[in-house]
Amino acid sequence: MVATARPALEAQRLRADFPIFDQKIHGKPLAYLDSAVTAQKPRQMLDAMHTFYETSYANVHRGVYTLSERATAEFERARGLVAAFVNAPSPRELIFTRQATEALNLVAYAWGLNNLGPGDLVVVTELEHHSNFVPWQYMAKRTGAGFRMINVNADGELDLGDLDAIAAEGQVKVVANNLVSNALGTINPVEKLAEWGHEQGAIVVVDAAQAAPHHPVDVQALGCDFLAFSAHKMCGPSGVGALWGRRELLEAMEPFNLGGHMISKVRYEETTWGELPHKFEAGTSPIAEAVGFGAAIEYLNEIGVEAIEQHEQKLAAYALERLGEIPGIKLYGPPPDRRAGIVSFNLGEIHPHDVAQILDSEGIAIRAGHHCCQPLMTRLGVAATNRASFYLYTIPEEIDRLVDGLHKVQKILG
């Protein structure tokens, strides 16, 4: 590997925190190059959940006994950690959800149903994951609002030249975009879009599912109104995610899920809603998962998200350089300085599923498919791509193994 690609972050040392790497797959060391779909788990996070279950587990915000108070304190401490991680002005603006998808649906339903109608426009981007595309497309149809898409250019970056034309077509009420594209790794100009969205009088909804694990995220600096992310992509457990929302918007919104815990008073005649964040947390919460989320945030804070970002940028540059040596490969997306640790490619006409299966026999895990980004795949003119994605535990040797594996694929199927 070239000297410029040597990471500052000690990925090799950090790997020791991840028990998953103790095993072999098909007799080979695991090269896990699919962290964008979900990240592996450090022992520190696993231990925190285990200890919580063994020593502090009870339901939260429901009991007056010691154990319940202890569980509630740990749950709320986790909320504070997650809120601080994205620089939320208050933990009360941080709602625990099942994942980013539920957080985005919450906004689409709870804000969209009461605020959208004919003459309004909902604007998404061609880079959106289905989770920030389909709920808005559906809500636009349901309320009679228009639905528009900001397109990408040949490098897979948003073409903001269309914004004036979109604004001329109606009252823009929602701008929904991701901060980092899961399919191409593009880092998107959210601040610019937020400024434009607010000039139109719109709310700005940011999908940070791929950004929060890899890139410092500051909701106040971004200037957005809502931000969604998932714990499982950032070394935390599955089953929990977060929605940050501006307090005045959350307070004005109707609830999304109804039932226990989210109420103030329930009478036969009428029910009134609880305070934030409880209004949006109906039912028993993902309690231990939230505690695990907090532990994952502490783990990432200790390493430093800036260091993770730099590490991944070096890996992406190295991967683009090495993959570029393979004859017939088509690489998608922007140059390494404008992308996160995600590299999408196609190997001539070889189907991505075949590529991924042969790589698996070498112990290498990558994703093959449309990555829940079918509108983008349509623009690229393909049904699917291969995608390698990196995280704090990825080492350059795994990229070398990927390149060797792709040569093998070409020998077998090329």
Active site residues: 372
Q: Does 214 interact with ligand C6P (rule: CB under 6 A)? A: no
- Give the integer Cα–Cα distance in Å for 277 and 94: 7
Question: Please, which of residues 336-375 interact with ligand C6P by CB under 6 A?
Answer: 367, 371-372
Closest CB 348 distance from ligand C6P, rounded Å: 23
Identified binder of ligand C6P from the candidate list 1, 5, 37, 382, rule CB under 6 A: 37
Closest CB 179 distance from ligand C6P, rounded Å: 8
Q: Does 178 interact with ligand C6P (rule: CB under 6 A)? A: yes
Question: Among residues 56 and 188, whose Cβ is nearest to ligand C6P?
Answer: 188
Range 303-308 contact pairs with CB under 8 angstroms and sequence separation of 24 or more: 303/9, 303/14, 303/392, 305/214, 305/215, 305/216, 306/216, 307/8, 307/9, 308/9, 308/213, 308/214, 308/391, 308/392
Q: How many C-alpha atoms does 224 have within 13 Å on its Cβ side? A: 28
Q: Does 188 interact with ligand C6P (rule: CB under 6 A)? A: no
Closest CB 211 distance from ligand C6P, rounded Å: 8
Question: Please, which of residues 126-165 interact with ligand C6P by CB under 6 A?
Answer: 129, 131-132
* Distance between start and end Cα atoms, the chain: 26
Site string for ligand C6P, 219-238 (x = CB under 6 A): -----------x--------
Which residue's beta carbon is nearest to the bound ligand C6P?
182
Closest CB 230 distance from ligand C6P, rounded Å: 3
Q: Does 182 interact with ligand C6P (rule: CB under 6 A)? A: yes
Q: Does 309 interact with ligand C6P (rule: CB under 6 A)? A: no
- Using the contact rule CB under 6 A, the part of the chain among 20-28, 70-78, 207-215, 316-324 near ligand C6P is 207-215
Question: Among residues 120 and 225, whose Cβ is nearest to ligand C6P?
Answer: 225
Q: Is 263 exposed, middle or buried (0-12, 13-18, 19+ CB in 10 A)?
A: middle
Question: Among residues 241 and 352, whose Cβ is nearest to ligand C6P?
Answer: 241
Q: Does 207 interact with ligand C6P (rule: CB under 6 A)? A: yes
Closest CB 372 distance from ligand C6P, rounded Å: 4
User: Could you give the C-alpha distances from 76 to 80, 91, 94, 96, in angstroms and in order?
Assistant: 6, 9, 10, 10
- Could you give the residue ranges of the DSSP H alpha helices within 200-286? 219-222, 247-252
- Give the integer Cα–Cα distance in Å for 250 and 273: 12
In b/e form, how buried is each residue of 200-220, taking b as 16+ CB within 10 angstroms?
Answer: bebbbbbbbbbbbbbbebebe
- Which residues are CB-contacts of 400 (< 8 A; sequence separation ≥ 6)? 1, 322
Q: Does 125 interact with ligand C6P (rule: CB under 6 A)? A: no
Closest CB 264 distance from ligand C6P, rounded Å: 29
Q: Give the three-class secondary structure for 176.
A: strand
What single letter denotes the amino acid at residue 193? L
Question: Please, which of residues 252-271 interact with ligand C6P by CB under 6 A?
Answer: none
- Give the integer Cα–Cα distance in Å for 370 and 60: 39
Number of helices (H), then strands (E), in the chain: 15, 17
- Give the integer Cα–Cα distance in Å for 342 and 306: 16
Q: Does 377 interact with ligand C6P (rule: CB under 6 A)? A: no
And the tokens for 149? Answer: 């898409």
Total of residues contacting ligand C6P (CB under 6 A): 18
Q: Does 56 interact with ligand C6P (rule: CB under 6 A)? A: no
Question: Among residues 197 and 237, whose Cβ is nearest to ligand C6P?
Answer: 237
Identified binder of ligand C6P from the candidate list 72, 125, 200, 210, rule CB under 6 A: 210
Q: Does 97 interact with ligand C6P (rule: CB under 6 A)? A: no
Backbone angles phi, psi at 231, to 5 degrees: -65, -35
User: Could you give the C-alpha distances from 185 to 6, 210, 300, 316, in angstroms and in order?
Assistant: 21, 8, 20, 9
Q: Does 285 interact with ligand C6P (rule: CB under 6 A)? A: no
And the tokens for 414? Answer: 């090329």
Q: Does 40 interact with ligand C6P (rule: CB under 6 A)? A: no
The contact set with ligand C6P (CB under 6 A) reads: 36-37, 99-101, 129, 131-132, 178, 182, 207, 209-210, 230, 241, 367, 371-372
